[in-house]
Chain A
């Protein structure tokens, strides 16, 4: 009858998932090899992946092995991917605007939870004074500053959550030969997935002649490179580019006077032109929910803004109007607003004007984000927890420096007292 069958041999443990055979951490071994038991290393790796970045920074000094692991580019990439999937450490970085020129504009960080709740804004220390947000990606914020002496913009990249930054080396503009030309530079910042690199692009157009100077900075190699090929367009209309799918995008004017979207691929350095869906002029190009988004305004109905999303990247037929915003509906008291992100359920869009507004697509109503800890007027960047730029320069908080001096003085006094006491023994 039903007796217990003779015991079969125990089931084998599951196969170890194939790990990368690269040696990203340059320790001479494959990335998944360590001196300790492989099983232990896996356990630690999986726990560390789930930690917020400030804990990882603190745990750098647990042991040399942990420091090597956390610093390895393989771990940094895995941790970033996990952060992106789970929206962990998601933070808004706010830069106060319209500040009295004698004062410095303040910066704040605001935790922004997975269910769309804003926490309390905490003032943070910025790496450089009076620089502005250019763009942001994967926890990095690209900053710019107009250097009026040299008549060009300086650029820096900052990871506010781990307080590291890097100022880009100054790069001259190669003007076309001959006399003085007046010119205008437009920038972009974004991720190049083919090379796992973050890049800044500067495109400079000259007014007296149709000529473009294009240079790209790579965070990996820490240097600028010139793109020699000339672009077959008449002019660039966007103030700055948007980055998506490893390409930079601008609104451009073609030689026949029509407007298009130009996409410059960072990996193969080739460009493509996309047509927009309508004949009206584009107001602006943005990225929303991982798609290219443009806003336009029908000249016959100037009180309405249309938002269009390119639902399938590269497919011109996939342009879809997702909403039509009536400007007169309160609280729109400013001319231009930028869509930042969708709410978790996709039914609302967070918009940035002078401050933040939730726009409900179904009810067509906008509601201002009320949070007393926010500054009155500000620009926004979105960050998630990432360890990118861990090898960058430290952002020094002057207040901390003062406290450290006080602490050191206190310690020195204490040690002196101890020494005196010990001498007496």
Chain B
């Protein structure tokens, strides 16, 4: 039967949970990874004493706010993080893993459309996935840091409520901050 039914602590990485997305896709995820989504973890711990826990990994946890494509990326990122129940690595292994993760992160960002970042951040926030939130927040900040004011307005869907002369005043006063900005 389920190997976690007696012991609620995630001790073996082969224990799995099933998450269901807004578009009705099912994702089987290792418990160690799913526990990084604190919302899921809290849900799981809340149900610990109830009948649901006895059924262990057969519970399907619905995530109506998260689309499958987004969840797939978050799970993929979660897998690459150091696992909390893993054996401690020596310094060399740690450095190699760090480099691998950096490479993976760069590849991941390259293939993402900037608009997807907002969805990932929103989902990571809902799931209370701290490492994911930190990573994607930083990725979005890095993406917009050299962009023009017009680009940022368009990206976040912000209406410009300044009068032309007011905006011109800012641009004159802080002309230096407008130098070297990426072309739209």
Question: Are chains A and B native binding partners rather than an unrelated pairing?
Answer: yes
Tell whether A404 is near chain B: CB-to-CB under 8 Å: yes
Tell whether A307 is near chain B: CB-to-CB under 8 Å: no
* A8 engages B39 (CB within 8 Å): no
One digit per residue, 1 when the CB lies within 8 angstroms of any chain A CB and 0 when it does not, for chain B 141-184 equals: 11011100100110010111110001100111111111001000
Which of A4, A51, A57 has a CB less than 8 Å from the CB of B60? A4
> Closest residue to B153 on the A side, CB-wise?
A62
- A61: B residues at CB distance < 8 A: 149, 162, 166-167, 170-171
Total A residues in contact with B, Cβ cutoff 8 Å = 40
One digit per residue, 1 when the CB lies within 8 angstroms of any chain A CB and 0 when it does not, for chain B 114-148 equals: 00001001100110100001000110111011100
Q: In whole angstroms, what is the CA distance A52 to B43 when docked?
A: 37
Instruction: Give the distance to chain B from A181, nearest Cβ to Cβ, in Å.
Output: 46
Q: In whole angstroms, what is the CA distance A419 to B42 when docked?
A: 68
Tell whether A14 is near chain B: CB-to-CB under 8 Å: yes
* A63 engages B61 (CB within 8 Å): no
- B65: A residues at CB distance < 8 A: 10, 13
Question: Contacts A8-B59, A63-B153; is A14 near B146 (CB within 8 Å)?
Answer: no
Which of B128, B152, B166 has a CB less than 8 Å from the CB of A62? B152
* B174 engages A58 (CB within 8 Å): yes
Question: Contacts A50-B137, A58-B178; is A11 near B61 (CB within 8 Å)?
Answer: yes
Tell whether B47 is near chain A: CB-to-CB under 8 Å: yes
* B137 engages A64 (CB within 8 Å): no
Instruction: Give the distance to chain A from B64, nearest Cβ to Cβ, in Å.
Output: 5
* B158 engages A64 (CB within 8 Å): no
- A48: B residues at CB distance < 8 A: 141
Q: In whole angstroms, what is the CA distance A358 to B17 when docked?
A: 53
Tell whether B72 is near chain A: CB-to-CB under 8 Å: no
Tell whether B55 is near chain A: CB-to-CB under 8 Å: yes
Tell whether B11 is near chain A: CB-to-CB under 8 Å: no
Q: In whole angstroms, what is the CA distance A61 to B161 when docked?
A: 9
- A55: B residues at CB distance < 8 A: 144-146, 177
Instruction: Give the distance to chain A from B164, nearest Cβ to Cβ, in Å.
Output: 11
Q: Which of A1-52 contact B (CB under 8 A)?
A: 2-5, 7-14, 39, 42-44, 46-52
Tell whether B70 is near chain A: CB-to-CB under 8 Å: no
Q: In whole angstroms, what is the CA distance A50 to B135 when docked?
A: 11
* A50 engages B170 (CB within 8 Å): no
Question: Contacts A61-B167, A62-B149, A62-B152; is A2 near B58 (CB within 8 Å)?
Answer: yes
Q: In whole angstroms, what is the CA distance A3 to B57 when docked?
A: 11
Contact residue range for chain B? 35 or more
Tell whether B63 is near chain A: CB-to-CB under 8 Å: yes
* B145 engages A62 (CB within 8 Å): no
Which of B40, B126, B141, B175 has a CB less than 8 Å from the CB of A47? B141
Tell whether B52 is near chain A: CB-to-CB under 8 Å: yes
Tell whether B15 is near chain A: CB-to-CB under 8 Å: no
Tell whether A336 is near chain B: CB-to-CB under 8 Å: no
> Closest residue to B159 on the A side, CB-wise?
A63
Q: In whole angstroms, what is the CA distance A124 to B113 when docked?
A: 37
Tell whether A59 is near chain B: CB-to-CB under 8 Å: yes
Q: Which residues of B contact A (CB under 8 A)?
A: 18, 20, 38-40, 42-43, 47, 52, 55, 58-65, 118, 121-122, 125-126, 128, 133, 137-138, 140-142, 144-146, 149, 152-153, 156, 158-162, 166-167, 170-178, 181
19 further interface pairs, Cβ-Cβ under 8 Å (given A14-B38, A55-B145): A5-B58, A7-B60, A7-B62, A10-B62, A10-B65, A11-B39, A11-B43, A11-B63, A14-B128, A43-B121, A43-B122, A43-B125, A44-B156, A46-B137, A47-B141, A49-B141, A61-B170, A62-B160, A63-B159
* A-B contact list, 25 entries, CB within 8 Å: A4-B58, A4-B60, A5-B58, A8-B47, A9-B62, A10-B65, A11-B42, A12-B39, A13-B39, A47-B141, A50-B137, A51-B144, A55-B145, A55-B146, A58-B177, A58-B181, A59-B152, A61-B162, A61-B170, A61-B171, A63-B158, A63-B159, A64-B161, A65-B158, A397-B176
